[in-house]
């Protein structure tokens, strides 16, 4: 869903409720197969990355209630997540896939996906709590956490950064990210993880081609 939009004051205030874990420059040091990647630059896109390897059969990172609890903790949404039930796993996956399809640069939005995001965004989000040390903590139910994710998706998709959503250029990487570079030419979700791997593979192919013996045909007299 790639449309330009102007955020209203209400949208701006919603965004302020989740400040602290959106628009973050994630480094992406987490192992994609065993952990959760946080390198998209937005909470909602990090959430969509909980299904990895979409072009390789899929790696489901939200396979259980414990997985959902771990992601809520790792994302910073709920350091101490409330009770996660089996139905929360299906709900989280449904919201995740709706966000992914709406955010993907090459997919057309559907009314069903829009309705899913709007339904979750309509619920009360996580409530911020100010600590004595000046830090902010969030408390609430799993539904409130999913509402916060959905609101971040609406903020992203209706704002100026919607045009900066990219898919990693590595052929087998399906991760979406926000290109925050000044020229807007970022290609990889992570240069260390995907960019360098692809460049290394290309370098090896060139070396192999140079090492191949060249057969020349000589014409005898």
User: Around Cβ 130, how many Cβ atoms within 10 Å?
Assistant: 9
| 2-42 pLDDT, tens digit each | 544 433 333 333 333 343 333 333 333 344 444 899 989 99
pLDDT (average), residues 50-72 = 92
Give the CA distances from residue 8 to residues 12, 40, 160, in Å, rounded to whole numbers and listed in that order.
6, 24, 12
3-class state of residue 138 by DSSP: strand
Least confident span in 7-21, 99-113, 121-135, 160-174: 7-21
pLDDT at 77 over 80: yes
**Apex CA 166: angle with CA 160 and CA 167, to 5°?**
155
| 153-197 pLDDT, tens digit each | 999 999 999 999 998 877 778 789 999 888 777 777 765 667 555
Produce one character per residue of 151-166: b if its CB has 16 or more CB atoms within 10 Å, e if not: bbbbbbbbbebbebbb
Least confident span in 45-54, 65-74, 103-112, 187-196: 187-196
Architecture, CATH, for domain 9-211:
Orthogonal Bundle (1.10)
Instruction: Give 200's Cβ-side CA count (13 Å radius).
Output: 7
pLDDT of residue 65: 96
Residue of higher predicted confidence among 81 and 163: 163
Residue spans per domain, the chain: 9-211
Residues in a beta bridge with 138: 128
């Amino acid at each position: 869903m790639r449309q330009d939009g102007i955020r209203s004051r209400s949208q701006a205030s919603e965004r302020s409720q989740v400040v602290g874990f959106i628009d973050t420059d994630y480094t992406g040091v987490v192992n994609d197969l065993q952990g959760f990647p946080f390198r998209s630059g937005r909470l909602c896109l990090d959430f969509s990355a909980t299904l990895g390897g979409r072009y390789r059969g899929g790696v489901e990172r939200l396979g259980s209630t414990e997985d959902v609890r771990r992601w809520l903790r790792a994302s910073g949404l709920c350091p101490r997540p409330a009770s996660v039930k089996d139905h929360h796993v299906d709900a989280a996956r449904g919201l995740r896939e709706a966000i992914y399809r709406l955010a993907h640069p090459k997919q057309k939005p559907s009314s069903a996906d829009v309705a899913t995001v709007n339904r979750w965004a309509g619920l009360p989000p996580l409530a911020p709590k100010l600590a004595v040390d000046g830090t902010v903590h969030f408390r609430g139910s799993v539904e409130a956490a999913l509402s916060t994710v959905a609101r971040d998706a609406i903020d992203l998709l209706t704002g100026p950064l919607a045009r900066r959503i990219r898919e990693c250029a590595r052929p087998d990487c399906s991760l979406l990210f926000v290109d925050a570079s000044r020229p807007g030419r970022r290609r990889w979700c992570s240069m260390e993880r995907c960019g360098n791997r692809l460049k290394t593979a290309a370098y090896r192919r060139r070396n192999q081609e140079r090492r191949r013996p060249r057969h020349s045909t000589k014409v005898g007299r």
